A and B are shown apart, each in its own frame.
Chain A
């Protein structure tokens, strides 16, 4: 059974940093791109970042480019998202999402979502 489990959320002051992790199991981790998608409280979904199966290619939404860094460890089957210079508008539930493709692109299929981890940015 495919499982992705996020951790690392919490409260942080504006300008602070946080590291989210996602532990994956039940599938060939290195064969799948991985994504982070966020959802602000009571609002819709926003794709944040993706990384290819090899980890060699990373992709970011314009709203987080230069602020967030996505990475993966294919030996430990883990995905990470480093959030830097956090702003109040980054407050959201962050979901780790398995892609149905090897690389992020037009064939991306967000097939399996974790339960999410809440990041709250507030003074």
Chain B
């Protein structure tokens, strides 16, 4: 089965840039989606089709997928961005990465 690999944890200082990566096979053929999940809450879509932001998602969230590894970037990270982040792709079905816990120190 297809697998998406994320680092278990990433730490960032307030105001700095956080980068969360997601890797898998044949990324150039796939769109990557990113979800934010805060403690006790449901996941929220923050990036779709590699780079697009749903309405209501702050501009500091951006995504890239040059073909070998996808990255969610949070510029000017705020304390409220502390959450788990999951990447997702399609490979004969919806597949999620294992998630990355972002800690804002």
A interface residue numbers (CB < 8 A to B):
35, 37, 44-47, 50, 59, 61, 95, 100, 105-106, 108-111, 113-116
Inter-chain CA distance A105–B30, complex, in Å, is 12
Which of B35, B44, B49, B94 interacts with A35 by CB under 8 Å?
A: B94
| A-contact bits for B38-54, CB 8 A (1 contact / 0 none) | 00001111001100001
Contact of B33 among A37, A61, A110, A115 (CB under 8 A): A110
Chain B's interface: helix, strand, loop or mixed, by majority?
strand
Query: 20 A–B contact pairs at CB < 8 A?
Result: A35-B94, A37-B94, A44-B86, A44-B96, A44-B98, A45-B35, A45-B88, A45-B96, A46-B96, A47-B94, A47-B95, A59-B93, A95-B43, A106-B31, A106-B90, A108-B94, A109-B45, A110-B33, A110-B35, A114-B42
Chain A CB within 10 A, most for which of B33, B48, B54, B94? B94
Specify which chain A residues have a CB less than 8 angstroms from the CB of B63 in the assembled complex.
Answer: none
Contacts of B90 in A (CB 8 A): 105-106, 108
> A61–B94 Cα gap in the complex (Å)?
9
B22 to chain A, nearest CB (A): 13
**Residues of chain B lying within 8 A (CB to CB) of residue A95:** 42-43
Tell me the complex Cα distance, A50–B93, Å: 10
